[in-house]
Amino acid sequence: MEAPLLDVRNLVKGFGGVLAVAGASLSLDRGEVLALIGPNGCGKTTLFNLVTGIERPDAGVIRFAGRDITGLPPQRIARLGIGRTFQVPGVFASASVRENLAVAAAAARRPLSEVAPMLAWAGLERWAEEPAGELPHGLQQRLELAMVVLQRPRLLLLDEPTAGWEAGESRAAAIAIRRLALQTGAAVLVVEHDLAFVRALGAEVAVMLRGRIVVRGPYGRVAADPEVRAAYLGSRA
């Protein structure tokens, strides 16, 4: 049996005596999409930071494509094929949208001919010559996502990718992300509070509470879990 692309086991990370991640475990196979949900402060972003090397775990193991990457620096982890977006988009504010994508292509040694199709994929063609820093937050999120996708990661970590998007746009984004996984074989782990987006994603959902993954499965089953309802979903389920 093939090993998971990402295999996280019993991760622990504390800050000042408070455990942000308290024994979290999860795995993703190649081409798999997983939505990670949970209340603010439950450890989702810290988990991303641990996987990408921004933070070093106090305990636990992270394996990627069968290799132990626990505690490796972010640059080495990125070169292995793990890409990430952030809640605050990391774009070059004074450069145009097209120039941002060109920089991403050059960094990944992708041909510049891929910039125009990526503009279309992200729905950014009409803003191609606009300075990225002058775009609304939602469009900056789209641009950062396109920049990461352009680098062809094997694993894509998306931290609230639809913040600032309209409802119809976020559903379209969910469809595009699933299509991306199917077409490229990349695994996608998405942290998102927009439950309409999570439902449209049509993928398994993992719920993080108090620094642990407490349940994982189809959205309907997860939403019906009494602990999840009480702690997070409530009337929104």
> pLDDT below 70 — which residues of the chain?
1, 88, 164-167, 233-237
DSSP 33-69: EEEEE--TTSSHHHHHHHHTTSS--SEEEEEETTEE-
Let me know how many helices (H) and strands (E) the chain has, helices first.
Answer: 9, 10
Q: Which residues contact 64 (CB under 8 A, 6 or more apart)?
A: 5, 6, 7, 77, 80, 81, 82, 155
CB-based contact 160:87 (threshold 8 Å): yes
Res 236: pLDDT: 47
**Shortest CA distance to 92 belongs to which of 70, 77, 107, 80?**
107
Q: Would you list the domain boundaries of the chain?
A: 6-81+153-236
Please give the Cα distance from 104 to 45 (Å, whole number).
Answer: 23
- How many angstroms separate the first and last alpha carbons of the chain? 35
For residue 130, the SS3 value is coil
Res 195: pLDDT: 84
Res 1: pLDDT: 67
CATH code for the structural domain at 6-81+153-236:
3.40.50.300
**Shortest CA distance to 181 belongs to which of 77, 29, 74, 11?**
29
What is the gyration radius of the CA atoms in the chain, in angstroms? 17
The pTM for the full model equals 0.88
Res 230: pLDDT: 83
Compute CA distances 170 → 44, 150, 166, 167, whole Å: 20, 20, 6, 5
CB-based contact 66:3 (threshold 8 Å): yes
Q: What is the pLDDT of residues 103-138, one digit of tens each?
A: 999 988 899 999 999 999 888 999 999 999 999 888
